[in-house]
Amino acid sequence: MKPLIGVSCAWSVETWSSDESQDGYLYVGKEYVDAVLDSGGVPFVLPIVSNEEILKAVAMDIVSVIDGLLLSGGGSVEGMPSKPTRPTLIEQQPIRYQFEKELLLHAREKGMPIFGICRGCQMIAEVFGGKMNYSCFLQGHRQKEPGDRPTHSIKIMDNTKASQVVQVDSMMVNSFHVQCIDFVPEGFVASGISDDGVIEMIESAVDPFVWGTQFHPEEMRLSCELAKRIIDFFIKKAKTYKESR
Protein backbone atom coordinates (compact mmCIF):
# COMPACT_ATOMS: atom_id res chain seq x y z
CA MET A 1 0.00 0.00 0.00
CA LYS A 2 1.19 3.49 -0.83
CA PRO A 3 1.49 6.10 1.93
CA LEU A 4 -1.41 8.52 2.34
CA ILE A 5 -0.17 12.11 2.31
CA GLY A 6 -2.32 14.85 3.80
CA VAL A 7 -1.93 18.04 1.75
CA SER A 8 -3.05 21.30 3.36
CA CYS A 9 -4.99 23.86 1.37
CA ALA A 10 -6.04 27.51 1.52
CA TRP A 11 -9.39 29.30 1.70
CA SER A 12 -10.02 31.81 -1.07
CA VAL A 13 -11.74 34.28 1.27
CA GLU A 14 -8.64 34.54 3.48
CA THR A 15 -6.32 34.83 0.49
CA TRP A 16 -8.10 37.46 -1.57
CA SER A 17 -10.91 38.93 0.54
CA SER A 18 -11.64 40.05 4.08
CA ASP A 19 -15.36 39.24 3.94
CA GLU A 20 -15.70 35.98 5.89
CA SER A 21 -19.45 35.97 5.23
CA GLN A 22 -18.59 34.68 1.76
CA ASP A 23 -18.40 30.93 1.26
CA GLY A 24 -15.47 31.05 -1.13
CA TYR A 25 -13.68 27.82 -1.95
CA LEU A 26 -10.79 25.70 -0.72
CA TYR A 27 -7.87 25.23 -3.07
CA VAL A 28 -4.34 23.92 -3.46
CA GLY A 29 -1.93 24.05 -6.38
CA LYS A 30 -2.11 21.00 -8.65
CA GLU A 31 1.68 20.63 -8.56
CA TYR A 32 1.56 19.57 -4.90
CA VAL A 33 -0.83 16.76 -5.72
CA ASP A 34 1.08 15.70 -8.83
CA ALA A 35 4.39 15.70 -6.94
CA VAL A 36 3.02 13.32 -4.31
CA LEU A 37 1.65 11.02 -7.00
CA ASP A 38 4.87 11.07 -9.03
CA SER A 39 6.93 10.07 -5.99
CA GLY A 40 4.70 7.15 -5.05
CA GLY A 41 2.28 8.62 -2.52
CA VAL A 42 -1.49 9.05 -2.46
CA PRO A 43 -2.48 12.71 -1.97
CA PHE A 44 -5.39 13.55 0.32
CA VAL A 45 -6.33 17.23 0.33
CA LEU A 46 -7.20 18.39 3.85
CA PRO A 47 -10.13 20.82 4.07
CA ILE A 48 -9.71 23.68 6.51
CA VAL A 49 -11.80 23.38 9.66
CA SER A 50 -12.98 26.73 11.01
CA ASN A 51 -15.18 25.52 13.88
CA GLU A 52 -13.01 26.03 16.97
CA GLU A 53 -15.09 23.57 18.99
CA ILE A 54 -14.11 20.62 16.80
CA LEU A 55 -10.85 21.87 15.27
CA LYS A 56 -8.48 19.96 17.56
CA ALA A 57 -10.49 16.76 17.42
CA VAL A 58 -10.65 16.81 13.63
CA ALA A 59 -6.91 17.49 13.39
CA MET A 60 -6.24 14.50 15.65
CA ASP A 61 -8.55 12.29 13.58
CA ILE A 62 -6.79 13.33 10.37
CA VAL A 63 -3.33 12.66 11.79
CA SER A 64 -4.49 9.23 12.95
CA VAL A 65 -5.13 8.10 9.36
CA ILE A 66 -2.50 9.84 7.19
CA ASP A 67 1.12 8.73 6.86
CA GLY A 68 2.71 12.07 6.06
CA LEU A 69 1.80 15.76 6.28
CA LEU A 70 2.57 18.20 3.47
CA LEU A 71 1.96 21.86 4.30
CA SER A 72 1.49 23.73 1.05
CA GLY A 73 2.45 27.29 0.23
CA GLY A 74 0.15 30.11 -0.75
CA GLY A 75 -1.20 33.09 1.08
CA SER A 76 -0.97 36.69 0.04
CA VAL A 77 0.18 39.96 1.52
CA GLU A 78 -1.64 41.90 -1.17
CA GLY A 79 -4.59 43.93 0.03
CA MET A 80 -3.54 43.74 3.68
CA PRO A 81 -3.69 46.97 5.74
CA SER A 82 -0.67 49.18 5.14
CA LYS A 83 1.88 48.89 7.94
CA PRO A 84 5.67 49.20 8.32
CA THR A 85 6.09 45.41 8.58
CA ARG A 86 4.76 42.49 6.60
CA PRO A 87 1.55 40.91 7.94
CA THR A 88 2.28 37.84 10.04
CA LEU A 89 1.27 34.34 8.98
CA ILE A 90 -1.68 34.38 11.36
CA GLU A 91 -2.74 37.85 10.16
CA GLN A 92 -2.66 36.71 6.55
CA GLN A 93 -4.77 33.57 7.04
CA PRO A 94 -5.93 33.20 10.67
CA ILE A 95 -8.30 30.25 10.24
CA ARG A 96 -5.86 28.30 8.10
CA TYR A 97 -3.09 29.09 10.59
CA GLN A 98 -4.94 27.64 13.56
CA PHE A 99 -5.89 24.45 11.72
CA GLU A 100 -2.39 23.87 10.32
CA LYS A 101 -0.91 24.55 13.75
CA GLU A 102 -3.00 21.74 15.24
CA LEU A 103 -2.04 19.40 12.40
CA LEU A 104 1.64 20.19 12.96
CA LEU A 105 1.54 19.66 16.70
CA HIS A 106 -0.29 16.33 16.49
CA ALA A 107 1.78 15.05 13.55
CA ARG A 108 5.06 15.81 15.28
CA GLU A 109 3.84 14.18 18.49
CA LYS A 110 3.17 11.01 16.46
CA GLY A 111 6.63 11.10 14.87
CA MET A 112 5.00 11.50 11.45
CA PRO A 113 7.04 12.80 8.49
CA ILE A 114 6.26 16.49 7.92
CA PHE A 115 7.26 18.53 4.88
CA GLY A 116 6.50 22.25 4.52
CA ILE A 117 6.89 24.23 1.31
CA CYS A 118 7.21 28.04 1.21
CA ARG A 119 4.51 29.18 3.67
CA GLY A 120 4.52 25.64 5.03
CA CYS A 121 8.21 25.96 5.82
CA GLN A 122 7.52 29.22 7.65
CA MET A 123 4.71 27.55 9.61
CA ILE A 124 7.09 24.83 10.79
CA ALA A 125 9.61 27.44 11.89
CA GLU A 126 7.11 29.63 13.75
CA VAL A 127 4.90 26.96 15.35
CA PHE A 128 7.86 25.02 16.75
CA GLY A 129 9.50 28.04 18.33
CA GLY A 130 11.53 29.77 15.64
CA LYS A 131 11.02 33.34 14.53
CA MET A 132 9.96 34.98 11.30
CA ASN A 133 11.39 38.28 10.12
CA TYR A 134 8.35 40.35 9.19
CA SER A 135 10.23 43.64 8.98
CA CYS A 136 12.37 42.66 6.00
CA PHE A 137 11.33 43.42 2.44
CA LEU A 138 13.24 40.85 0.44
CA GLN A 139 14.67 41.72 -2.93
CA GLY A 140 15.36 39.10 -5.57
CA HIS A 141 13.21 36.36 -4.06
CA ARG A 142 9.97 36.86 -5.95
CA GLN A 143 10.72 35.78 -9.48
CA LYS A 144 8.57 36.52 -12.50
CA GLU A 145 9.77 33.44 -14.34
CA PRO A 146 7.71 30.20 -14.22
CA GLY A 147 8.25 27.94 -11.23
CA ASP A 148 10.15 25.29 -13.17
CA ARG A 149 12.94 27.80 -13.81
CA PRO A 150 15.46 28.26 -10.98
CA THR A 151 16.69 31.82 -10.52
CA HIS A 152 19.22 31.76 -7.67
CA SER A 153 21.51 29.35 -5.88
CA ILE A 154 21.58 28.09 -2.30
CA LYS A 155 24.39 26.51 -0.32
CA ILE A 156 23.62 23.09 1.15
CA MET A 157 25.14 22.91 4.60
CA ASP A 158 27.50 20.09 5.51
CA ASN A 159 26.49 17.29 7.89
CA THR A 160 22.77 17.70 7.25
CA LYS A 161 20.18 15.25 5.97
CA ALA A 162 19.69 17.57 3.02
CA SER A 163 23.32 17.19 2.00
CA GLN A 164 22.94 13.41 2.18
CA VAL A 165 19.84 13.50 -0.02
CA VAL A 166 20.86 15.94 -2.76
CA GLN A 167 24.58 15.02 -2.55
CA VAL A 168 25.81 18.41 -3.77
CA ASP A 169 27.11 21.47 -1.93
CA SER A 170 24.88 23.92 -3.82
CA MET A 171 21.81 23.90 -6.03
CA MET A 172 19.71 26.29 -8.07
CA VAL A 173 16.18 26.96 -6.83
CA ASN A 174 13.11 29.01 -7.68
CA SER A 175 11.85 31.77 -5.39
CA PHE A 176 8.41 33.23 -4.68
CA HIS A 177 8.55 34.66 -1.16
CA VAL A 178 8.67 38.17 0.31
CA GLN A 179 9.37 37.35 3.96
CA CYS A 180 11.87 35.02 5.58
CA ILE A 181 12.81 32.99 8.64
CA ASP A 182 14.90 34.95 11.15
CA PHE A 183 16.06 31.97 13.20
CA VAL A 184 15.11 28.29 13.33
CA PRO A 185 13.49 26.50 16.28
CA GLU A 186 15.53 24.72 18.92
CA GLY A 187 16.53 21.30 17.61
CA PHE A 188 16.43 22.49 13.99
CA VAL A 189 19.21 23.53 11.63
CA ALA A 190 19.27 25.73 8.56
CA SER A 191 20.30 23.22 5.91
CA GLY A 192 20.08 25.52 2.88
CA ILE A 193 21.05 29.21 2.73
CA SER A 194 20.98 31.59 -0.24
CA ASP A 195 23.93 33.73 -1.29
CA ASP A 196 22.35 36.77 0.40
CA GLY A 197 21.94 34.91 3.71
CA VAL A 198 18.26 33.97 3.52
CA ILE A 199 17.33 30.63 5.10
CA GLU A 200 15.93 28.52 2.26
CA MET A 201 15.73 25.08 3.86
CA ILE A 202 15.35 23.83 7.43
CA GLU A 203 15.31 20.40 9.02
CA SER A 204 14.83 18.94 12.47
CA ALA A 205 17.87 17.28 13.99
CA VAL A 206 15.73 15.48 16.59
CA ASP A 207 12.74 14.17 14.60
CA PRO A 208 12.68 11.37 11.99
CA PHE A 209 11.63 13.81 9.25
CA VAL A 210 10.49 17.39 9.72
CA TRP A 211 11.71 19.47 6.78
CA GLY A 212 10.85 22.75 5.17
CA THR A 213 11.91 24.39 1.92
CA GLN A 214 11.35 28.07 1.24
CA PHE A 215 11.59 27.27 -2.48
CA HIS A 216 9.14 25.08 -4.42
CA PRO A 217 10.60 21.66 -5.31
CA GLU A 218 7.21 20.46 -6.51
CA GLU A 219 7.38 22.94 -9.39
CA MET A 220 10.98 22.04 -10.26
CA ARG A 221 10.80 18.26 -9.96
CA LEU A 222 10.37 17.53 -13.69
CA SER A 223 13.35 19.64 -14.71
CA CYS A 224 15.60 19.26 -11.65
CA GLU A 225 16.65 15.85 -10.34
CA LEU A 226 17.76 17.39 -7.04
CA ALA A 227 14.28 18.79 -6.35
CA LYS A 228 12.77 15.40 -7.19
CA ARG A 229 15.11 13.71 -4.70
CA ILE A 230 13.78 15.87 -1.88
CA ILE A 231 10.15 14.93 -2.54
CA ASP A 232 11.08 11.28 -3.10
CA PHE A 233 12.81 11.22 0.29
CA PHE A 234 9.72 12.63 2.02
CA ILE A 235 7.48 9.99 0.46
CA LYS A 236 10.03 7.29 1.34
CA LYS A 237 9.92 8.40 4.98
CA ALA A 238 6.11 8.39 4.89
CA LYS A 239 6.14 4.83 3.56
CA THR A 240 8.48 3.76 6.37
CA TYR A 241 6.17 5.44 8.89
CA LYS A 242 3.15 3.65 7.43
CA GLU A 243 4.88 0.27 7.64
CA SER A 244 5.83 0.87 11.27
CA ARG A 245 2.33 1.67 12.50
Find the CATH number of the domain harbouring 68.
3.40.50.880
Query: What's the pLDDT score for residue 153?
Result: 87
Furthest-apart CA pair in the chain: how many Å? 50
Query: What's the pLDDT score for residue 79?
Result: 46
List, for the chain, all residue ranges whose pLDDT scores fall below the cut of 50: 79-81, 143, 147
Q: Which has the closest alpha carbon to 25: 34, 37, 36, 17? A: 17
CB 182 within 8 Å of CB 135: no
Rounded CA-CA distance 2/243 in Å is 10
Q: Domain containing 223: what range? A: 4-244
pLDDT in tens, 203-241: 999 999 999 999 999 988 999 999 999 999 999 999 999
CB 153 within 8 Å of CB 224: no
Cα distances from 75 to residues 58, 138, 177, 222, in angstroms, run: 23, 16, 10, 24
Query: What's the pLDDT score for residue 176?
Result: 66
| Total domains, the chain | 1
pTM of the model as a whole: 0.92
Query: What's the pLDDT score for residue 135?
Result: 67
Query: What's the pLDDT score for residue 16?
Result: 81
Q: Quick one: 154 exposed, middle or buried, by C-beta within 10 A (0-12, 13-18, 19+)?
A: buried
